[in-house]
Structure 1
Amino acid sequence: MKHRAFVFGLIVIAIVFGVDQWTKALAIDGLSNPFRVIEVTPFMNFVLAWNPGVSFGLFQGQAPWVMIAVTAAITIGFGVWMWRTRDSMLRLALALIVGGAIGNLVDRLRHGAVTDFIDLHVAGYHWPVFNIADSAITVGAALLLIDSLFGGKKSAR
């Protein structure tokens, strides 16, 4: 049963990674030559941006190998945690985080920065541009928080 549940986590990781890389390739191809902004809705644009830092542009001054090493270490740690847990919501949360982290890690290795392209804005305020991997990491972190607050003691921590 544990192996079947872990395989589910691997499938989630593969889906997040695949969709993330596919949408980033579409963004690079469709938004870079010539550079353009595509208005999708009155509150969302597609625009190509390169993020050498982490979420929301934090730590942009760090050496690229530091970002790669930290991301890889966290990803491995969360993967081991996913393998050990028996809690399905925790496994889903970790799989979303790992899938997103791998997607952004591949970008760092391939391009030296993360490909972002989703620009949300309301009343003149723009959130930092993000991608599918960032969304998966955010949802996974929210589920992780929910599990830690309401999940009880059923998961292996």
Structure 2
Amino acid sequence: MKSWSPYVLLAIVAFALDQWIKYLVETSLAFQEKIDLVPFLALFRTFNTGIAFSMFSSLGDTGLVVIATLVVAVVLYLATVTPRSHVFARTGFALIIGGAIGNLVDRVTYGHVIDYILFHTQTWSFAVFNLADACISVGAVLIVFDELIGWRREAKPESPDA
């Protein structure tokens, strides 16, 4: 268990920070009021009844809770079979688990996910998201990066003296 301690802690911190920020947003920010922080970044409290980009909202709360629970279970399994040397992947799995559980708690508690980060310009805006979504995305990038490092190590040609 010792080798998993920092990753478990990271997942817990990601989850706790996500829930704390969502609490602050819910208690301090009016629904769909945009507060510009810098010219391209704003706070904008809204709800997401689906998953990424509101996909699968037609499945309803129960279907989305089941999907999220299955995703967490699969990621937990992958994390347990990943070798210790794959630090980027293990970090990525921890971030995904923390973020997925954060959004899962929202869905079970409220029937939707609380989103509040908006990247935008005057003529374009990205989907509104939250810290849990960012953790999931960064975690996925770390896992892909770890896989690319692994492929590169395996693809090195052997020396002629071997």
Q: TM-score, normalised by structure 2?
A: 0.87
Task: Name structure 2 gaps, 5 residues minimum.
Answer: 154-162
Hey, what does 1:9 align to over in structure 2?
Answer: 7
Q: Give the CA deviation at 1:84.
A: 2.4
Q: Quote the Cα distance in structure 2 between the aligned partners of 1:148 and 1:6.
A: 20
Q: Give the CA deviation at 1:63.
A: 1.8
Q: Quote the Cα distance in structure 1 between the aligned partners of 2:20 and 2:51.
A: 20
Report if the CA contact (8 A) 1:107-1:113 is conserved.
yes
Report if the CA contact (8 A) 1:13-1:98 is conserved.
yes
Deviations along 1:86-125, one digit per CA (max 9) or x if unpaired, are 2211110111111100000000000000000001102421
Number of paired residues?
A: 151
Q: Quote the Cα distance in structure 1 between the aligned partners of 2:143 and 2:121.
A: 28
Report if the CA contact (8 A) 1:119-1:126 is conserved.
yes
Q: Quote the Cα distance in structure 2 between the aligned partners of 1:94 and 1:26.
A: 26
Within-5 A mapping of 1:28-107: 28-32=26-30, 36-86=33-83, 87-107=86-106
Larger radius of gyration: 2
Hey, what does 2:115 align to over in structure 1?
Answer: 116
Report if the CA contact (8 A) 1:5-1:88 is conserved.
no
Q: TM-score, normalised by structure 1?
A: 0.90
Q: Percent identity?
A: 31
Q: Give the CA deviation at 1:153.
A: 9.4
Task: Name structure 1 gaps, 5 residues minimum.
Answer: none
Equivalent position amino acid for 2:46 in 1: A
Deviations along 1:70-91, one digit per CA (max 9) or x if unpaired, are 1001101111221222221111
Hey, what does 1:149 align to over in structure 2?
Answer: 148
Hey, what does 2:20 align to over in structure 1?
Answer: 22
Q: Quote the Cα distance in structure 1 between the aligned partners of 2:41 and 2:123.
A: 12
Q: Give the CA deviation at 1:151.
A: 2.3
Hey, what does 1:134 align to over in structure 2?
Answer: 133
Equivalent position amino acid for 1:12 in 2: L
